[in-house]
Amino acid sequence: MTIRHLLLGHVLQFSGNPFTMPWDSAVHILENSALLIEGTQILAVGEAARTAAGPDAQIHDHTGQLILPGFVDAHAHYPQTAMIASWGKRLIDWLNTYTFPEEIRLGDPAYANAIANRYLDLVLDHGTTSVASFCTIHPGSVDALFEGAEQRGMAVVAGKICMDRNAPDALQDTAQTAYDDSKALLTRWHGTGRAIYAVTPRFSPTSTPEQLHALGALWAEHPDALMQTHLSEQVDEIVWVQELYPDARDYLDTYEATGLMGARGIYGHAIHLTPREIDRLREVGAAVVHCPTSNTFIGSGLFDLMGLAKAGQVVGLATDTGGGSSFSMLRTMAAAYEIAQLRGEAVHAAQLLWLATAGSAAALHRGDEIGTLAPGLAADICVLDLASTPAIAQRAHEAAHVWDAVFPTIMMGDDRAVASVWVNGQPLRGGN
């Protein structure tokens, strides 16, 4: 007989997008409520959970804590785990000095496995249950991440990075080998368990038009796969793209002209977009991913979260490890709030939590599986202690309402705030 687990506490619920409708109509906290898990899925929420639990349900008392979907990190580079928080200048210098040498090391399968498992454990410690990660040029780096995720039951998106120019020789493939290796990995992993494959050109400067066309052809052959890359992260990067692709209308056109533009495309950063790019991304339903700690750490710019999201653009949120300076989606939400303030907008806690869960799940086209606490969805759950440190506890004690108690944890919380993490119905952290 399958054991039923009843989690007691405040339960976060979504009924819409809080950027395109009033946040208090889209996001709700059911205070002193319940969530019922059976097997790998959520069975019931709220009073229905208490009613359906039955006398044999195992009780997990999180009174005063917040039960929410596991965080979804929509853009990361797990190979950069060991070099996170490395001092640097600008994007290209940082890649050449730290990123490329570290990615070469993942050519050793044992090292790739060690880093993949270290990364997955670190994100779970921070309440993240799903990630979309770039791997390295080495097929074994993709296997390492998917195998580690499979062992933990995690829903993961990943793909082999493809580069055939402007990178060290040890990190270059060709148009043909990029196609062949990616196709073999896609065939092996896409749709296996909870794995989703993403065709992954790093970005236009490190791929020739021939390679981008080859990857566009692969994506066209497998339209249910995802495609992830980078777009308009830094101004000097955009100038470089213009030099390398003189016939392109803009940065986005380097992808659009090579078959790498579509609704299942995920474009990281997207800070310095032209009006045409903004309109085109929204028109096709493609996702852009906000990487706030990375954008400030490398000095890239201030993403227009409120402007894009309010206009209906699909937006995810991400740590961008290791350009991002934290594995924590709490810290990432805090940075998103701070960047919006610099743009003259105040993002509500409800919007930030939606962005880090349901919003990112939608960006990865996994909203029918993860990112929301609803019957039938995967039991990927994070429980936050809203008084995890003395500083947070004293602030929460003064809260006039529940949202006032949640916000200090978003702004000051870290892995100490993560009381429990469930993945696919199994408690991997905490679980009392």
**pLDDT of 390 strictly over 70:** yes
Domain extent, residue 269, equals 71-363
Model pLDDT for residues 237-286, shown as the tens digit of each residue:
999 999 999 999 999 999 999 999 999 999 999 999 999 999 999 999 99
- Say whether both 356 and 389 belong to one domain: no
Q: Which helix (H) or strand (E) holds 371?
A: none
CB–CB of 147/186 below 8 Å? no
**pLDDT of 432 strictly over 80:** no
Looking at residue 86, what is its pLDDT?
A: 79
Whole-angstrom Cα distance, residue 203 to residue 358?
26
Question: Cα–Cα distances in Å, from 131 out to 10, 175, 231?
Answer: 25, 27, 19
416 pLDDT tier (thresholds 50, 70, 90) = very high
Looking at residue 90, what is its pLDDT?
A: 67
Instruction: Please tell me the pTM assigned to this model.
Output: 0.97
Q: Are strands 27-38 and 4-14 parallel, antiparallel or unpaired?
A: antiparallel
Task: Provide, rounded to the nearest whole percent, the portion of the chain with pLDDT above 70.
Answer: 99
Range 56-73 average pLDDT: 97
Model pLDDT for residues 106-141, shown as the tens digit of each residue:
999 999 999 999 999 999 999 999 999 999 999 999
- Say whether both 91 and 58 belong to one domain: no
Outline where DSSP puts E strands in 176-294: 195-201, 226-231, 265-269, 287-290
Model pLDDT for residues 16-31, shown as the tens digit of each residue:
999 999 999 999 999 9
3-state secondary structure of 413: coil
Helix axes 139-152, 109-125, angle to 10 degrees: 40
Model pLDDT for residues 145-191, shown as the tens digit of each residue:
999 999 999 999 999 999 999 999 999 999 999 999 999 999 999 99
How much is the mean pLDDT over the chain? 96
Burial label for 92, CB within 10 Å (0-12, 13-18, 19+), is middle
**pLDDT of 85 strictly over 90:** no
**Domain end call among 363, 390, 415:** 363
**Domain end call among 363, 382, 397:** 363
CB–CB of 371/358 below 8 Å? yes
Q: Are strands 265-269 and 287-290 parallel, antiparallel or unpaired?
A: parallel
- Say whether both 51 and 98 belong to one domain: no
- How many domains are contained in the chain? 2
- Say whether both 142 and 231 belong to one domain: yes
- Say whether both 154 and 87 belong to one domain: yes
Task: Provide, rounded to the nearest whole percent, the portion of the chain with pLDDT above 90.
Answer: 93
Give the list of residues 6+ apart from residue 377 with CB closer than 8 angstroms, or none: 41, 42, 368, 369, 370
Candidates 36, 73, 55; CA nearest to 356 is: 73
- Say whether both 47 and 81 belong to one domain: no
**Domain end call among 363, 389, 415:** 363
More confident residue, 335 or 84: 335
We report the CATH number of the domain holding residue 418 as: 2.30.40.10
- Say whether both 196 and 216 belong to one domain: yes
CB–CB of 390/365 below 8 Å? no
Half-sphere exposure of 99 (CA within 13 A, CB side): 26
Candidates 184, 269, 277; CA nearest to 234 is: 269
Looking at residue 322, what is its pLDDT?
A: 86
Whole-angstrom Cα distance, residue 6 to residue 52?
10
